[in-house]
Amino acid sequence: MMRKKISQYEGLQKDIRKLKLPEIETWENQYKDKDYIIHLETSEFTCICPKTGLPDFASIYVDYKPDKLCAELKSFKLYLHAYRNVGIFHEHLTNRILDDFVRAAKPKWAKIKTEFNLRGGIKTTVEREYRSRTSINSFNLPH
């Protein structure tokens, strides 16, 4: 017996790593010799629940310690906006954003936290951290 899809978005999870998204642009960090952390935050993120097809709303927090590059904010905003019609699980979203961010900005350290609004009485928060191999012992991270 063939299982019926619940929504038009449900099958999209299989190739989420291959999904084409706008590039996160960068600019040269003139203070690469300094250790500092940049905090990015938005409360206007939306994507689609891959099971129900309904919108999911979230706040996204990215903290990173730049090396030679810093993320350009307008391109990061456009990158996040591209998820508006994408069916994606919260856990996959968090991992994909950090992977793309690290690939673009090549930070010494980065952390992402996604906080999704209540749905069905459950709030989802997903966190992931990245450390470059060269920076593991070179600085103290905030807790």
Active site positions, annotated: 49, 56
Nearest partner of 61 among 112, 136, 7, 131, judged by Cα:
112
What is residue 140's three-state secondary structure? coil
Place of tokens 């063939």: 2
Sign of torsion, CA 100 104 109 111? negative
User: In whole angstroms, what is the distance from residue 20 CA to residue 110 CA?
Assistant: 22
Rounded distance between C-alpha atoms, residue 64 and residue 111, angstroms: 6
- The helix (run of H) or strand (run of E) holding residue 95 is helix 90-105
Q: Dihedral sign for Cα 45, 96, 66, 80, please.
A: negative
